[in-house]
Structures are given as structure tokens and as C-alpha cells.
Amino acid sequence: MQTQDKAELCFPQLPNTSCRKPTAQSNAVFLNIMLVSVSVLTVFLNLLIIISVSHFRQLHTPTNILLLSLAVSDFLVGLLAMPGEIFRLTTCWFLGDVMCSLYKYLSCIVSFTPIGDMVLISVDRYIAVCDPLHYPTRVTVRRVKLCVCLCWFYYFLYSGIYLKNDFTELGRYNSCYGQCVIVIDYITGAVDIVLTFIFLITVIIVLYMRVFVVAVSQARAMRSHITAVTLQRSVTLSTKKSELKAARTLGVLVLGFLMCYCPYYCVSLAGDSVLNGSSAFYALFLFYFNSCLNPVIYALFYPWFRKAVKLIVTLQILQPGSCAAKVQ
């Protein structure tokens, strides 16, 4: 009986301080399979965006550079954060306290950076729609690259402050050997909700609502100027379709983001004891699932993405001069 108990320990040579191996449940196995599938899909879709924007010169625009930054962070979520979370919650952590803290730090960076990228994309679309005459001079490739670098640098610092307790004393929250526990105190969680969620989400919603209102008003203005055209009816129908498409795209964007991020911040606000339980697993699944939705929402609506994917899949990008191909 004693031998069997030792076999269930993560470190049988440390019977008094070792954690027990997690028991696999049927629902947990199903969720792990789903998370692995989402992880693979996230890596694949975002890798297509990274290759497309990086390879084709015609796509080297300010907006696409922001999409590239978003795709890189989402790619790292699928490659690092999702598999690491499955390993952390379902098996014994054999990598030690240093790797545990490093994993949590990198996971925070790649998970928080998409929020900053979405804010930058919102600002970019706001200027493009609301002030199109000054857009080429205000939004340049050089300025966008600088903003992207500052965004990543900010979240490098922010993640270090967010997890400062883990760096001051490694493994301080682990109750036994073989754990990699994430504990965020109430004050840190509350500040993170205000700074990362409430404030930035408000900025995104306000900017996109403004973009939507201006886009609709411009479409109506164009419709009023074509009343004397013979094909008035067909043009009007086309304008209405464009209005509905803009509304649908913005609605999916905002609702998808809120549905994926709200559960995580609700769980983090609940306190330390909930962060590593079953509710955290579901919240983190939705949180990471946003990285799979982003390439669909931001890129699959663009015709150039479908053309670029076709060239990538057929290996035409390996031909000389393919970087100069027209995809727009």
C-alpha cells in the first residue's frame, strides 16, 4: 500500500513534501483535447498572417504592421501559453520554480499584448475613417513600428510588476513540490482590471463606435448624392449591404473580445483560491480562445489574406520575385 502511494507522488523520493499526481477526469480530458485543437489552429492561422504580411511587399502598410504584431502575440499564445497551461494544470510540474516563474512571465506578456495591439488598431481605424486626409502624414510605417515596440516594451514591464511577488520569492505559493501555482492578490487583480480591462476596453469601444457612426454617415451621404443616377436602386442596395457588413464586423469584434476576456477578469476578481480551480480552467480557455478568433476577425475579412494564403499553400512564395506579387 505504501509503494502504491509513493507511485502516485510527483516526487516519490520526497514523500512528505511531494504533490500527488493529478487524476485525469473524463471532462478534463475532453477540455484538454479542445484546448490542444484550439492551440494548433491558433498557431496555424496566425502563422499564415505572419508569413503573408512579412513576405509580400504590398502588405507592408501601417495597418498590416499592427495586424502582424497582433498575429505574433497570438501565435505565441498558441505556441507557449496554451500548451503550458495544459501542462501546468494536468500534470506534475517537473521544471522547477525558476521555469515556473519564467513561464508565467512570458505567458502574461503574450496574453496581455493583444489588448494593446487592439487599442492601436482602433486608433488606426479611427484616424483612417474620421480624418482620412491627414492619415498618410499622421500614420506612417515608421511611427507604427515605434508604437508597436513601445507596446511590447510596456507589457514586458507591466508583466514584471504584475508578477512581482513570484520573482521576490520563487515558489512561495506552492504548497508542495510539483506545483506551479498562479496567485494574484486582490489589490493587484483589481488594479489590473481597471488598467488593462475597463480602461482599454472603454477606449476600444468608444473609438469603434465613433468609427461606425462616421462610416454610416459617410455611406448615407454618398447615397444621397446618387439619387439622380439611373442605377440608383442597385447602388442603394450595395450601400445598405456595406453598412450592414460594417455593423456586423464591429459587433463581432467587440462582442467576441468581451465574451473571451470578461470571464477571466471575473475569476481573477474572485480571489486567490479560485485562480487554480476548475472555473479558472474554463476562464483561461475563453481567454486564450480570443487569440484564435483574432485572425478570423481581423484577417479573414480581408480579400488580400485569402489571395496570400493561396500563394502560400501552393508554395508559389518560393518562386523568385514572389514578394512583389500583387495580392490587393
State which residues of the chain have pLDDT below 70: 1-7, 23-28, 171-173, 218-219, 221-251, 268-281, 298-300
**48 Cβ contact list (under 8 Å, min separation 6):** 295, 305, 308, 309, 312
Q: How many CA atoms lie within 13 A of 213 on its CB side?
A: 6
CATH classification for the domain delimited by 28-324, as one of 1.10.10.410, 3.90.1300.10, 1.20.1070.10, 3.50.50.60: 1.20.1070.10
Distance (Å, whole) CA 184 – CA 197: 16
Distance (Å, whole) CA 24 – CA 257: 31
- Listed residue (201, 158, 169) closest to 97, CA to CA: 169
Q: Which three cell numbers stand for residue 255?
A: 462582442
Classify each residue of 123-153 as buried b or exposed e, where b means 16 or more C-beta atoms within 10 Å of its C-beta: bbbbbbbbeeeebeeebeeeebeebbeebbe
Distance (Å, whole) CA 311 – CA 317: 6
Query: Rounded to whole angstroms, what are the CA distances from 209 to 145, 193, 213, 214, 250?
Result: 26, 22, 6, 9, 8
- The secondary structure of residue 199, as a DSSP letter, is I
pLDDT attached to residue 7: 53
145-197 pLDDT tens trace: 999 999 999 999 998 888 887 777 776 667 788 888 777 777 777 788 888 77
pLDDT attached to residue 277: 55
Domain boundaries, the chain: 28-324
Cβ atoms of residues 12 and 92 within 8 Å: no
Amino acid at 127: I
Cβ atoms of residues 322 and 316 within 8 Å: yes
